[in-house]
A and B are shown apart, each in its own frame.
Chain A
Amino acid sequence: EAEVAQSPRYKITEKSQAVAFWCDPISGHATLYWYRQILGQGPELLVQFQDESVVDDSQLPKDRFSAERLKGVDSTLKIQPAELGDSAMYLCASSSRGRFSGGYTFGSGTRLTVV
């Protein structure tokens, strides 16, 4: 069964350092999402891509977060500089284009700890 790949699974970084997460969606899925999930809460959308274009980044803290999906396939989410409050699980998901017939497929996530 096709999966959304994310790496790394775990990341510990010091405050003020830069950190990056990678996501490879299911082949052919045009829409890619990055979510942040604080422990005990629901996922919050950070950015949504349609192919290589950003569709929604209204909740992305743009002073420190950036996201790209250069060729419309895999994507990178970067934080610079990291802050203690960024400690969370970062989830990537993908879905197919067009009349929605399926669900979203989520990756296993990257758990970030900022110390």
Chain B
Amino acid sequence: AQTVTQSQPEMSVQEAETVTLSCTYDTSESDYYLFWYKQPPSRQMILVIRQEAYKQQNATENRFSVNFQKAAKSFSLKISDSQLGDAAMYFCAYRSAVSEKLVFGKGTKLTVNP
């Protein structure tokens, strides 16, 4: 079974600075998808960024980018120019291309300090 590990329960960053959230996963599959989701206190799960395993190029969405290391099974999220609105729980998630099952990590709580 696939597992997703987020080793940082909490992180903090100063406004306008850069922060990196870590994620590792375990799988025997070669075709899969990886996601970072944001969950603000309102609890709505919001997709931040996604990466397809067959793509070597790291995904980027405005201030959010990932460092995808397939061999190391690592998928970190970098947030540049952090804003107060970035404060939330961030979840790394793995989706099997075969079973379509979406598995989440335990999350990292990000605090942005003004």
Q: Report which A residues bind B (CB closer than 8 A).
A: 31, 33, 40-45, 48, 50, 55-56, 89, 91, 93, 95, 100, 103-104, 106, 108-109, 111
Beta-carbon contact of B95 and A100 below 8 Å: yes
Of B95, B101, B104, which one neighbours A56 at CB under 8 angstroms? B101
Of A33, A108, A111, which one neighbours B102 at CB under 8 angstroms? A33
Chain A proximity mask over B38-69: 1 for CB below 8 Å, otherwise 0: 00001111110010000000000000000000
Beta-carbon contact of B100 and A42 below 8 Å: no
A-B contact pairs, 9 of them (CB 8 A): A33-B102, A41-B106, A42-B107, A44-B104, A45-B102, A100-B95, A103-B47, A104-B47, A106-B46
Beta-carbon contact of A43 and B91 below 8 Å: yes
Beta-carbon contact of B43 and A89 below 8 Å: yes
A residues near B45, Cβ cutoff 8 Å:
43, 91, 93, 106
